[in-house]
Structure 1
Amino acid sequence: MSLDLHFILFLLLRMAIAAAFVVSASIIAERAGPVIGALVATLPVSAGPSYVFLAIDHDAAFIAQGALASLPVNAATIVLALTYVVLAQRHSLLVSCGSAVAVWIVLASIIRRFDWSLAAGLAANLIAFGICIPLLAGYRHVKMPLVTRRWYDIPMRAALVATLVALVVSTSSWVGPRISGIIALYPVVFSSIMVILHPRIGGPPTAAVLANSAWGLLGFGVAIAVLHVAVVWFGSAVGLCLALGTCLVWNLTLWGIGRRAGRKARPIP
């Protein structure tokens, strides 16, 4: 088997694994409702496979540098969410989603011009989330209409994630860890939520899903910081496991807090 054919087959296998991961996460999200769906959306559904495959091809130093670039990009993602949420109240999918993605691209382009330290990346997240979470709070509680899944919904999400993985893996040696870390955090899940749900249930309900994702996305930023530190000290495998564990514990904690708050708010018969 030629080297090129081996690379293509291995790349297709990686794309298939990433696609299977996002399909499983999508099914769980749709069956569990919008709040759980928001928490699932902030798990490393797209970035996780990208980083796993980067770790296969590169050393721990590469992953650590990539994580430093990814950390401020997480702050750009919450700005993307806020942009969409505000515009989706009155505007079409094209205007709302197009503007949000444009904002993300501009911020990512600015981020790539700087060498980020861990402290600077954490500060960017604290500032962005400190501003955006209070602004998103008023859009979280919207009555969700029944969503009927269409045949192309999950395949489209799977194709987007598989394409992202292919782009990250095939270009990582050429573009280096900083650009790889930025590309890996492109908000594929948020984009697919906008594109799929907005035409079907309208802007405000779709915006509510993204607004509910804010706290989970903050935890994802914490996981990226854990990834950087843990990879430096313990290597890529342990670092990736600890980052995933951070996301899971954070989102399960949010789910538990939400359930307790729901019980307290429920009237006593």
Structure 2
Amino acid sequence: MSPDLAFILTLGFRMAVTAAFVVTASVITERSGPVIGALIATLPISAGPSYVFLALDHNAAFIAEGALASLPVNAVTIFLALTYVLLAQRRSALVSCACAVMVWAALVALARTVHWSLAGGLLANAVAYAICLPLLQRFRHVKMPLIARRWYDIPLRASLVATLVATVVTLSRWVGPYVSGTIALFPVVFTSMMLILHPRIGGRPTAAVLANSGWGLMGLGIAIAVLHVAALQLGSAIALSLALATCVSWNLGLWWNGRRKLGR
């Protein structure tokens, strides 16, 4: 088998596995309401597989540098969520999503002009969430209507995430860890929710899912920092496992805290 054919077959397998994982998680999100849905959506269900596949092709130093690049991008993502939430109260899905993605792209381009350290990336996340979480608070509590799935939902979600994985894996061979880490954090789960849920159930219920995502994204930022630190010290496999455990533990803690408040 030629190297090119082997690469194409491997890439196709990676795209299929990741797409199946993301579609399953997003279907669960739709059926769980905005709070549980946000906790599931902020798990690394698109970035995680992208990093796993990067780790198969590159060494631990590459993964560490990619994670460092991903850290400020995670801070930018909360501004994408805020932009969409504010616009979705009155605007269409296309306008709200397009403006949110443009804000994300502009802030990522601005972030690329800075040489980030771990402390700087963590500080950027702290400032971003200190600004956005209070602004998102009043949009969090909306009743989620019943969802009637359409024929194109699963193909659309699968194609979005598969395209992301293909882009990250292919470009990483030429563009290096910084760009790979940036692309890996593209909010494919959020954008797929915007495009699929908004036309069916309305902007406000869809916005409620993203408004509840702030604390979960904070945990994702901590997990990215763990990945950066642990990759060089312990290797990519252990670092990825620790980062995943951090995300899952953080979101379980958020869920438990929410249940405790309801119990009171």
TM-score by length of 2: 0.98
Q: 1:156-215: CA deviations, max 9, x gaps? A: 112111110100001102111000000000000000111011111111111101001111
Equivalent residue number for residue 152 of structure 1? 152
Contact 2:34/2:205 (8 A) holds in 1:
no
1:1-269 correspondence runs (5 A): 1-264=1-264
Mapped to 1, the partners of 2:113 and 2:9 lie a distance apart of: 34
Output the CA distance in 2 between the equivalents of 1:64 and 1:214: 24
* Count of matched residue positions in the alignment of Structure 1 and Structure 2: 264
- Code of the aligned partner of 1:233: Q
* Alpha-carbon distance in 1 for matches of 2:65, 2:146: 43
C-alpha contact (below 8 Å) 1:74/1:125 kept by paired residues: yes
CA drift at 1:121: 0.3
Structure 1 CA distance for aligned equivalents of residues 27 and 100 of structure 2: 25
- TM (norm. structure 1) is 0.96
Change (3 A) 1:199 1:27: closer
User: 1-side partners of 2:33 and 2:134: how far apart?
Assistant: 23
Residues 41-69 of structure 1 show CA distances to partners (whole Å, capped at 9, x for unaligned) of: 00001100100000000000000000000
Amino acid corresponding to residue 127 of structure 1 in structure 2: V
User: Where do 5+ consecutive residues of structure 2 fail to align?
Assistant: none
Instruction: Report how far residue 27 of structure 1 moved.
Output: 2.8
Q: AA paired with 2:44? A: P
Distance, in Å, in 1 between the alignment partners of 2:196 and 2:184 is: 21
Q: Secondary structure, in 3 states, of the residue corresponding to 2:144?
A: coil
Which stretch has the larger CA shift, 84-93 or 220-229? 84-93
Q: Unpaired segments of 5 or more residues in structure 1?
A: 265-269
Secondary structure at 1:33 match in 2: helix
Using the TM superposition, give the Cα deviation of residue 228 of structure 1 relative to its aligned residue in structure 2, in angstroms: 0.3
AA aligned to 1:90 is R
Q: Which runs of 4+ in 1 moved over 3 A?
A: none
- Aligned mates of 2:204, 2:23 — CA distance in 1: 25
- RMSD between aligned alpha carbons? 1.0
